[in-house]
């Protein structure tokens, strides 16, 4: 079929009036040689066709008219960018000649409107179109309406469209990344995370192969450990960067993507034989190339900006999840046995010193692990010895003394772990409004006994000072730690001052940078020996102590700092040798007033109280079950969330749910939410030994920290059941 020819218009007055005032397309129509078009010369067009063309040409909306049985295309300036390279060749020509790749999709829609006269409309309708040299899926809001001739017959189809491709792609990208972000943490294992992510991305982009290649360092190449591939050879193994592209490594290490389309005159490298296109996305951390996301396609394609952004953001998110999962697995392996953990940490210390030349940092890590091993071994020894003696010689009087000794050692171990969690900012706090004046007044007798007669105490705290939002028990421990440190620094006696204020009050400490305005400070100052600059620089390191063996674990100041930071505040310490020390906590003020709630008693269970106990650790579950039964509760146990949900779905209804937080299938909080979907008012108590859970993440559920005594467990359950009424 001949194509219409476009010639320069000599005079606008020579063109039919209905072709005027239409911009660039109008000029093309005026200068076209219509002998090659089925429409013929414009003067011979029907009145209906002339009228609709005169209307669409100056319109600002994207409009295309398909006229006659051959659906000859006429459109305006606003529409021409929509078809890209098809313009201007498609103008005045049958649609099949230029819309061939989507004709099987488009023609039934046009024919339906032409034969029935009924309008067709759709939102975000997908169309596969080749408008930039490569095929791509685009999206449009469309309205196809019949255009009638004077005799009532349908002469053509008027299509008003709006290209929504950019918006749809953005929404799909955001939805994809959101779904990925919600799914990956629950998979746990790095291998499962990687397998799930590459499969999902391959489906989303229509790729033939997707995988991660981990950088081998020094530009040597990359290693592919897992991949998703369909109908193409595997890439598993190690490969040089140059085997993909001679310039690939230089691009990737600079943070640039590498996009390639392979054609007959530019075939792919041997490693990518059979591929039509490739997209390689770098993953950098601290400006160092860590991994590459490899995405390969069977056919050449348009690399849309949104697809490239999707690949880049997916690569960052997935690699971060993989790295985190690997770190968690490494930590779990280290925690399997204390001796193995210490040995591995020491090996890592030596290797890191050679590789990173960070002797100071590795010295602190070694000190931390050694201190943990030393203190825990001291506490485990009487526990193990007491239990062995009780088993061999079950004398009641002797057993009572041995059990008391074991419990004291266990309590010391519990306090040590609590301090470690406080330093690591992983303790589950119970923040509440606390009046500093009242707290210090209640502790005054304990402080005085701890200091002795040679040290005087001054307290300068205004009772009208705003309450602070903090875990009251942890704040008491922190204050006591600071008081004891001050006592040890005043061996010959002295003066200890406890003061508090708000913000930059006169005579108070300097407000630290980076903290929110209006924080309340609590300061403990002494007139003791003070610290040298060297000791001051290291005093917050865990297990660093200048005291003699047995006089301190070196966790006091790290615990105080951990509590302050985790509570949303800060911690600072100033000291001069021979002049004393000032230690200051900064804590956020509480918006709520002080609570005045009398403590509830912790009686035994009422007859018939039923507890659903869920914990995937058999030893912990068995010990908790025995404590509950001794308290008089009827206990039904489950070793996982799925087993517990099956019990509830079977119709069994407990009076209270007691669940561990860290479980393999799902967290205790997530499990409790699922239970609340079935039993909306069921009281829930979550027990946890290591979880940095904020109040928002707890969704209002009560928490009991491990390890706990039977009295603490009884008190928590009694409070829950009393509230339920």
Q: Write the secondary structure of 326-363 as one string of H (helix), E (strand) and C (coil).
A: HHHHHHHHHHCCHHHHHHHHHHHHHHHHHHHCCHHHHH
Return d(Cα 603, Cα 351) in angstroms, integer: 56
pLDDT at 3: 42
294-320 mean pLDDT: 90
601-614 mean pLDDT: 78
275-292 mean pLDDT: 91
pLDDT digits (tens, 9 = 90+) for 491-529: 888 999 999 988 776 667 888 887 887 889 999 999 988
375-386 mean pLDDT: 63
- Check the CA dihedral 499-502-506-509 and report its sign: positive
Specify the range with the lowest mean pLDDT, choosing from 76-90, 158-172, 278-292, 615-629. Answer: 615-629
Where b means 16+ CB within 10 Å and e means fewer, 130-164 reads bbeeebbebbbbbbbbbbeeeeeebbbbbbbbbeb
pLDDT band at 402; cut points 50, 70, 90? low
pLDDT band at 393; cut points 50, 70, 90? low
pLDDT band at 549; cut points 50, 70, 90? very low
pLDDT digits (tens, 9 = 90+) for 64-114: 999 999 999 999 999 999 998 899 999 999 999 899 989 999 999 999 999
pLDDT at residue 572 tops 90: no
pLDDT digits (tens, 9 = 90+) for 434-478: 899 889 888 887 788 778 888 899 999 988 899 998 888 888 888
pLDDT at residue 543 tops 80: no
pLDDT at 2: 38
pLDDT at 719: 86
pLDDT at 516: 80
Give the CA radius of gyration of the chain.
Answer: 37
Return d(Cα 436, Cα 427) in angstroms, integer: 22
The partner residues of 636 in beta bridges, in order of sequence, read 612
Return d(Cα 63, Cα 52) in angstroms, integer: 11
Higher pLDDT: 407 or 4? It is 407
pLDDT at 7: 43
- Here the tokens at position 496 are 């200890």
Which residues touch 245 (CB under 8 Å, ≥6 apart)?
251, 258, 260, 269, 280
Q: Are residues 129 and 101 in contact, defined by beta-carbon separation less than 8 angstroms?
A: yes
45-63 mean pLDDT: 93
The closest alpha carbon to 531, from 484, 572, 578, belongs to 578
Return d(Cα 704, Cα 437) in angstroms, integer: 28
pLDDT at residue 423 tops 50: no
pLDDT band at 145; cut points 50, 70, 90? very high
3-state secondary structure of 695: helix
Q: How many CB atoms lie within 10 A of CB 651?
A: 6
pLDDT at 1: 36
Specify the range with the lowest mean pLDDT, choosing from 29-43, 263-277, 516-530, 581-595. Answer: 581-595
Element housing 117 (H / E): none
State the average pLDDT for the chain: 82
- Return phi, psi of residue 503, to 5°: 60, -140
Conformational region of residue 568, where left means phi above 0, alpha means psi within -120 to 50, and beta covers everything else: left
Strands (E), 531-655: 570-576, 580-587, 610-614, 634-638
pLDDT at 630: 86
Which residues touch 518 (CB under 8 Å, ≥6 apart)?
502, 503, 589
pLDDT at 5: 43
pLDDT at 132: 78
Return d(Cα 272, Cα 267) in angstroms, integer: 9
DSSP class of residue 578 equals: T
- Here the tokens at position 399 are 């057993």
> What is the pTM assigned to this prediction?
0.42
pLDDT at 281: 93
pLDDT band at 135; cut points 50, 70, 90? confident
Which residues touch 254 (CB under 8 Å, ≥6 apart)?
none
pLDDT at 414: 64
Return d(Cα 327, Cα 4) in angstroms, integer: 66
pLDDT at residue 252 tops 50: yes
Query: Which 3-state string (H, E, C) describes 159-172?
Result: EEEEECHHHHHHHH
Specify the range with the lowest mean pLDDT, choosing from 398-402, 428-432, 469-473, 505-509. Answer: 398-402
- 508 alpha carbon, distance to own chain's centre: 39
3-state secondary structure of 536: helix
Residue that is written with structure tokens 């046009």 in the block = 110
Specify the range with the lowest mean pLDDT, choosing from 38-42, 202-206, 387-391, 662-666. Answer: 387-391
Specify the range with the lowest mean pLDDT, choosing from 231-245, 579-593, 635-649. Answer: 579-593
pLDDT band at 363; cut points 50, 70, 90? low
pLDDT at residue 4 tops 50: no
682-708 mean pLDDT: 76
- 710 alpha carbon, distance to own chain's centre: 36
Length of the chain: 725
Helices and strands counted in the chain (H then E): 20, 25
pLDDT at 103: 93
pLDDT at residue 690 tops 70: no
128-155 mean pLDDT: 90
Strands (E), 372-527: 432-434, 455-460, 468-470, 494-502, 520-526
pLDDT at residue 54 tops 80: yes
pLDDT at 662: 84
């Amino acid at each position: 079929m001949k194509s219409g020819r476009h010639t320069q218009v000599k005079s606008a007055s020579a063109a039919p009036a209905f072709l005027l005032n239409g911009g660039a397309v109008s000029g093309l129509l005026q200068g076209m040689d219509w002998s090659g078009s089925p429409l013929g010369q414009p003067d011979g067009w029907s009145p209906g066709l002339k009228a609709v063309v005169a209307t669409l040409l100056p319109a600002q909306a994207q409009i295309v008219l398909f006229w006659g049985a051959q659906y000859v295309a006429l459109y305006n300036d606003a529409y021409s960018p929509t078809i890209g390279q098809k313009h201007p060749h498609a103008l005045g020509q049958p649609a099949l000649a230029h819309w061939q790749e989507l004709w099987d999709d488009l023609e039934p829609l046009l024919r339906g409107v032409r034969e029935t006269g009924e309008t067709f409309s759709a939102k975000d309708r997908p169309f596969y179109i080749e408008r930039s040299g490569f095929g791509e899926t685009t999206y449009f809001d469309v309205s196809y309406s019949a255009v009638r001739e004077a005799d009532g017959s349908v002469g053509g189809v008027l299509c008003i469209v709006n290209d929504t491709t950019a918006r749809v792609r953005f929404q799909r990208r955001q939805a994809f990344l959101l779904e990925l972000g919600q799914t990956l943490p629950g998979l746990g294992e790095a291998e499962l995370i990687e397998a799930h992510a590459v499969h999902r991305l391959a489906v989303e982009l229509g790729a033939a192969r997707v995988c991660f290649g981990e950088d081998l360092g020094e530009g040597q190449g990359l290693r592919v450990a897992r991949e998703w591939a369909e109908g193409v050879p595997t890439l598993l193994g190690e490969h040089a960067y140059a085997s993909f592209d001679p310039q690939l490594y230089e691009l990737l290490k600079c943070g640039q993507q590498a996009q390639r389309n392979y054609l007959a005159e530019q075939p792919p490298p041997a490693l990518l034989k059979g591929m039509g296109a490739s997209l390689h996305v770098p993953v950098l951390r601290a400006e160092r190339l860590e991994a590459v996301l490899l995405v390969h396609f069977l056919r050449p394609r348009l690399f849309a900006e949104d697809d490239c952004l999707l690949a880049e953001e997916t690569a960052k998110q997935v690699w971060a999840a993989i790295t985190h999962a690997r770190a968690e697995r490494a930590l779990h392996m280290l925690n399997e046995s204390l001796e193995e953990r210490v040995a591995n940490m020491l090996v890592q210390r030596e290797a890191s010193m050679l590789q990173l030349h960070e002797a100071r940092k590795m010295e602190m890590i070694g000190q931390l692990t050694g201190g943990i091993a030393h203190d825990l071994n001291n506490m485990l020894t009487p526990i193990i010895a007491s239990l062995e003696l009780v088993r061999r010689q079950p004398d009641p009087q002797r057993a009572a003394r041995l059990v008391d000794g074991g419990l004291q050692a266990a309590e010391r171990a519990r306090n040590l772990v609590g301090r470690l969690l406080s330093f690591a900012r992983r303790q589950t706090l119970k923040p509440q409004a606390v009046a500093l004046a009242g707290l210090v007044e209640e502790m005054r007798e304990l402080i005085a006994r701890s200091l002795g007669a040679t040290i005087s105490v001054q307290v300068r705290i205004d009772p009208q000072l705003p309450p602070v939002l903090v875990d009251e028990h942890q704040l008491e421990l922190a204050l006591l730690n600071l008081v004891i440190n001050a006592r040890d620094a005043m061996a010959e006696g002295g003066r200890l001052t406890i003061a508090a204020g708000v913000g930059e009050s006169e005579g108070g400490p300097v407000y630290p940078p980076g903290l929110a305005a209006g924080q309340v400070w609590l300061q403990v100052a002494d007139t003791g020996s003070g610290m040298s600059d060297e000791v001051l620089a290291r005093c917050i390191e865990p297990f660093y102590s200048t005291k003699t063996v047995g006089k301190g674990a070196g966790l006091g100041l790290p615990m105080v700092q951990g509590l302050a930071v985790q509570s949303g505040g800060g911690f600072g310490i100033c000291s001069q040798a021979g002049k004393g020390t000032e230690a200051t906590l900064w804590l956020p003020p509480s918006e709520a007033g002080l609570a005045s709630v009398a403590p509830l008693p912790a009686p035994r269970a009422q007859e018939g109280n039923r507890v659903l106990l869920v914990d995937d650790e058999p030893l912990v579950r068995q010990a908790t079950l025995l404590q509950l039964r001794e308290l008089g509760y009827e206990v039904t146990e489950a070793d996982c969330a799925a087993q517990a949900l099956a019990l509830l779905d079977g119709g069994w209804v407990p009076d209270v749910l007691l669940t561990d937080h860290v479980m393999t299938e799902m967290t205790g909080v997530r499990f409790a939410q699922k239970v609340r979907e079935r039993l909306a008012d069921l009281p829930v108590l979550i027990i946890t030994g290591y979880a940095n859970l904020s109040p928002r993440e707890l969704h209002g559920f009560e928490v009991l920290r491990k390890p706990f005594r039977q009295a603490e467990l009884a008190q928590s359950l009694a409070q829950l059941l009393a509230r339920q009424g």
